[in-house]
């Protein structure tokens, strides 16, 4: 789970507001295994394994590479910490497509738009540039029926249930 950014548009460490929700959704997935949370701009106090990425400011790819170094399996299921409406079934769907050979990069799509979660086969990990996995061409798996995972960039994007 990538949670390393500065959240500059949000104006505060949004990860601290969103992580419990996103972690719960990941844990509800059948596909999720060991959870690694990548921290960078902010310290994160979680019961999950947290990997600190000192080079987080280099871009999302730097944070992703930090997290991948902590993964031992043949692939990684990647989610963003700022997607509080992530459907556990979306994780299961993209993981199953990868297992069935859809390709080394498999991403959920919503309304034809590439999004998260994303499965990255170990064979592509060394090819991830600083701009992140968006530079890699994925096989898309339609998850329209599951609802968009959301993307909290500003306080106005925060779902009502998470506002205090």
pLDDT at position 4 over 90: yes
Tell me what the mean pLDDT of segment 81-96 comes to.
Answer: 97
CA pseudo-torsion sign 138, 131, 116, 79? positive
pLDDT at position 10 over 80: yes
**pLDDT value at position 88?**
97
Residues in the chain: 164
From the number of C-beta atoms within 10 Å of its C-beta (0-12, 13-18, 19+), residue 113 rates as exposed
Do 97 and 141 contact (CB within 8 A), yes or no? yes
pTM of the model: 0.93
Residue 112: pLDDT band (50, 70, 90) is very high
- Domains annotated on the chain, with CATH: 2-159 (3.90.550.10)
Residue 67: pLDDT band (50, 70, 90) is very high
**pLDDT value at position 32?**
85
**pLDDT value at position 19?**
94
The chain-wide mean pLDDT, for the chain, equals 94
Tell me what the mean pLDDT of segment 9-37 comes to.
Answer: 93
**pLDDT value at position 75?**
97
For residues 85 and 146, give the distance between their C-alpha atoms in angstroms, rounded to a whole number.
9
Do 41 and 101 contact (CB within 8 A), yes or no? no
Tell me what the mean pLDDT of segment 11-36 comes to.
Answer: 93
pLDDT at position 14 over 90: yes
Give pLDDT tens digits for 116-150: 999 999 999 999 998 899 999 999 999 999 999 99
**pLDDT value at position 163?**
85
- Other CB atoms within a 10 A radius of the CB of residue 156 amount to 7
């Amino acid at each position: 789970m990538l949670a390393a950014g500065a959240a500059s548009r949000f104006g505060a460490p949004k990860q601290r507001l969103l992580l419990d929700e996103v972690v719960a959704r990941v844990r509800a997935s059948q596909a999720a295994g060991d959870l690694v949370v990548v921290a960078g701009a902010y310290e994160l106090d979680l019961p999950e394994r947290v990997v600190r990425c000192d080079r987080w400011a280099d871009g999302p790819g730097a944070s992703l590479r930090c997290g991948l170094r902590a993964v031992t399996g043949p692939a990684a299921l990647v989610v963003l910490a700022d997607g509080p409406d992530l459907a556990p079934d979306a994780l299961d769907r993209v993981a199953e497509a990868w297992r069935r050979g859809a390709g080394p990069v498999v991403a959920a799509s919503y309304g034809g738009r590439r999004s998260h979660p994303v499965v990255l086969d170990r064979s592509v990990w060394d090819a991830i540039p600083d701009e992140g996995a968006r530079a890699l061409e994925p096989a898309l798996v339609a998850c329209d029926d599951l609802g968009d995972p959301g993307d909290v960039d500003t306080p106005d994007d925060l779902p009502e249930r998470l506002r205090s």
